[in-house]
Structure 1
Amino acid sequence: MPPRTETIPLLPASPGTSRVLTVHRFGQPGARPKAYLQASLHADETPGLLVLHHLHGLLAAAEARGEIRGEIVLVPYANPIGLAQFANGMHLGRYEAGGGGNFNRNWPDLYAPIVDGLEDRLGSDEAANVEAIRAAQRAHLEAQEPGSELESLRLALASLAVDADLVWDLHCDDESLMHLFLIPAHWPQAADFAADLGCRAVLLAEDSGGNSFDETFSTPWTRLAKHYPQHPIPAACLAATVELRGFADVDDATAAGDAQALFHSLQRFGVVAGDPPPPPTLRCQATALDATDSVRAPATGVLAYTVQLGDEVEAGDVIAWIVDPTAVPEHARLPVTTRASGLVLSRRSQRYARPGMPIAKVVGEDALPHRQGDYLLED
């Protein structure tokens, strides 16, 4: 079956405007495993757009060879609203300009609306339980009526991904090394996936807060398993946020390599036929997200880093200085220290900081007291 392309119109935001999602489909509809991949939900995060461009070519060639065993849904741009948001030449694709907030927060809850209705639909057959849960989640989404363009975007993307076995949401950080966000139930199942991508960190949280896209599809399974311990319920959707390094890491060679890594992982999960090469050596172990210090600026000023990406630091080390350009030199510099010992994973590319602004991530191994709570993400 050749690849199919369709478009899904969004609810118009105003007269004379319209936006659509483009969706590429490979394999037989309904075949298993099903993989869903999307790029640039944060629309100013460009690397995924080029990676999926290259992956499309690999998948089309595999389709022509009859090698697509499951079903693959590929959304080359997940956010046409954010792709259009420019102000004075600057792309502002992380937040919805109409007041809708961060595009990767507040996704539909696929646990609370269905949990009580499953009481009489679950039994001792794990596969049957998975199908019952997916049917309930699909029915919940089908019953929704979007009231805005943003709601129609969320509903369309969620409906495409809701019954997938794999959901891979491609993002990037500011200046960063490759890393993944997962729930703990999917480690070490995803270890070869992280190795294929060359990840330098895998950050685990049962619920990182904010209802991000990936956790919309992963966390309901573990919550349902806890609610119904008498019934076998697996963590049936391996959903991951893939952080493709930094904003500026966009070139054909890098993107082609990442696309090949994704293709190899699709083979390992049985979505695509063929024998991938042995996975590369895993470059990290998974760590709890609350052990990663999200270092924030203590004051306003010029940001002068003392560390590079990939450096190993100790708790208490100075990783940057905040320089007050108005002060005399001996009083102008304020040290910024990390509370974690470990790898410098990310930095801020813009070198002017304001109080409270995240300026770096340092991946530690021990839970940090100031990182406890319901919200572990950076907004």
Structure 2
Amino acid sequence: MQRIDHPLLSPSLGSHKTLTSFHFGTPGRGPKVYIQASLHAEELPGMLVAHHLRALLEAADAAGQVLGEVVLVPVANPIGLAQRVDHKAMGRFDLDTSENFNRHYPDLAKVVWPVVQDTMVADAATNVKTVRSAIGHYLQQDWKPDTELQSLRHRLLSLSHDADFVLDLHCDCESVMHFYTEEACWPRFEPLTRFLQCQAVLLAKNSGSGPFDECLSGVWWRLADNLASAGNPAPLPQGCCSTTIELRGETDVSHALAQTDAQALLSYLQHLQVLACAQPPVVPPARCQATPLAGSETLVAPSPGVVVFAAQPGQILQVGDLVAEVIDPIANHSQRVLAGVAGPLYARVRDRYVTAGGELGKIAGAKAFKTGELLGA
């Protein structure tokens, strides 16, 4: 194992933050997997999973079982982790810019297309190397971050841009295990959702807003689309499959859960043959079917009030089922919030007071009905 500390740009005199990565195996010897936790810094389950996964990876490394390369970043956002207002963690948005830490990553396909469009050949592996080299050159030579936030984004991409698989560990407010990925990545990730026993899987082709995971996977299908539009038959496979894994809710921080999740990730690495094992792990049965992110219903409060949930995370709902009541104790009035689609209630808010129009929860419907930006703030 190798530990590398990466200093970020300092926003103020006399202080700076550092991003730390742990490296297992040998670069270039086999598939590369990049795993990071808590890019939204108040989402802590991923940090504990990374802690337990690190111990498993250290043991595998010591036993010579790392056939490829694994990069682990257990604390992906030291900026957000240090942000507190009135004793409350503020790790989702950068206080200097008000930007979401998991949005506004660059469109790498737009950046490298002029460089690679005339260099694609008949060999797919060569084309993957060409694209990765172009992205690496852009990150090393062309993108010059000038803020602390940009230096964080730049460093995370520098560590991950040449990975075959990228796992971004998050969590929701109160939720069951669920999973976001782009459609092009789904075939390679389907076993991972089984190892993790996901209760909802949300698929999209470009959910919008430039999140970290889609920055890395989106470049490949976008470039493949560009080649097809240009009438170029050169093959370009999905060189990076990336995902956002939602490790249940914010308070689901326990050794038992984290050890279970770390073992699931280890089993997936063995399944990919990034780690050697005596017997290939058995892929468990799926707990859910994948559904379109565009079919996910976000329930909102029709008025302000105290929230009383009738439905629990993971509960399978039918259209018209009661999800929550919003109670106005001044007007002595209660409003019912009903499911508009059928499917699992995979996430809900933690706060029990909501303002008018505030988000209450999400149901994974099977039929797409939304267009445009599919991610919330």
| 1:112 counterpart (92, 110, 119) | 110
Cα displacement (A) at 1:299: 1.6
| 2:250 counterpart (242, 247, 252) | 247
Cα displacement (A) at 1:340: 1.1
Give CA deviations for 1:290-326 in whole Å, capped at 9, x if unaligned.
1111111222111111111121212232211111121
TM-score, structure 2 normalization: 0.96
Partner of 1:322: 326
Partner of 1:30: 28
Task: For 2:187, give the aligned amino acid.
Answer: P
Cα displacement (A) at 1:85: 0.4
Cα displacement (A) at 1:346: 0.9
Q: In structure 2, the residue corresponding to 1:361 is in which secondary structure?
A: strand
Q: CA contact under 8 A between 1:172 and 1:246: conserved in structure 2?
A: yes
Deviates more, 1:317-326 or 1:13-22: 317-326
Partner of 1:83: 81
Cα displacement (A) at 1:367: 1.4
Task: For 1:291, give the aligned amino acid.
Answer: G
Taking the aligned partners of 2:5 and 2:272, their CA distance within structure 1 comes to 28
Q: In structure 2, the residue corresponding to 1:101 is in which secondary structure?
A: coil
Partner of 1:19: 17
Task: For 2:331, give the aligned amino acid.
Answer: A
Unaligned runs of 5+ in 1: none
| 1:268 counterpart (271, 290, 294) | 271
- Pairing 1:155-170 to 2, within 5 Å after superposition: 155-170=154-169
Cα displacement (A) at 1:247: 0.2
| 2:313 counterpart (291, 309, 313) | 309
Taking the aligned partners of 1:30 and 1:378, their CA distance within structure 2 comes to 37
Task: For 1:73, give the aligned amino acid.
Answer: V
Q: CA contact under 8 A between 1:311 and 1:343: conserved in structure 2?
A: yes
- Pairing 1:60-99 to 2, within 5 Å after superposition: 60-99=58-97
Q: Which runs of 4+ in 1 moved over 6 A?
A: none
Taking the aligned partners of 2:223 and 2:303, their CA distance within structure 1 comes to 44
Taking the aligned partners of 1:110 and 1:221, their CA distance within structure 2 comes to 9
- Pairing 1:143-182 to 2, within 5 Å after superposition: 143-182=142-181
Cα displacement (A) at 1:30: 2.4
Give CA deviations for 1:64-104 in whole Å, capped at 9, x if unaligned.
11000111110010000000001121111010011241110
Taking the aligned partners of 1:32 and 1:160, their CA distance within structure 2 comes to 16
Taking the aligned partners of 2:106 and 2:98, their CA distance within structure 1 comes to 14
Partner of 1:363: 364
- Pairing 1:115-130 to 2, within 5 Å after superposition: 115-130=113-128
TM-score, structure 1 normalization: 0.96
Cα displacement (A) at 1:268: 0.8
Q: In structure 1, the residue corresponding to 2:346 is in which secondary structure?
A: strand
In the comparison of the two structures, how many residue pairs are matched?
Answer: 371
Give CA deviations for 1:192-246 in whole Å, capped at 9, x if unaligned.
1000001001100000011001000111111111111211111111100000000
Identity of aligned residues (%): 43
Partner of 1:41: 39
Q: CA contact under 8 A between 1:100 and 1:150: conserved in structure 2?
A: no
Q: CA contact under 8 A between 1:358 and 1:378: conserved in structure 2?
A: no
Give CA deviations for 1:111-152 in whole Å, capped at 9, x if unaligned.
101112212210110000000011111111112111100010
Partner of 1:288: 292
Cα RMSD, aligned residues only: 1.0
Taking the aligned partners of 2:309 and 2:134, their CA distance within structure 1 comes to 50
Q: In structure 2, the residue corresponding to 1:58 is in which secondary structure?
A: helix
Give CA deviations for 1:272-300 in whole Å, capped at 9, x if unaligned.
11134311111111110011111112221
Partner of 2:334: 333
Taking the aligned partners of 1:115 and 1:354, their CA distance within structure 2 comes to 45
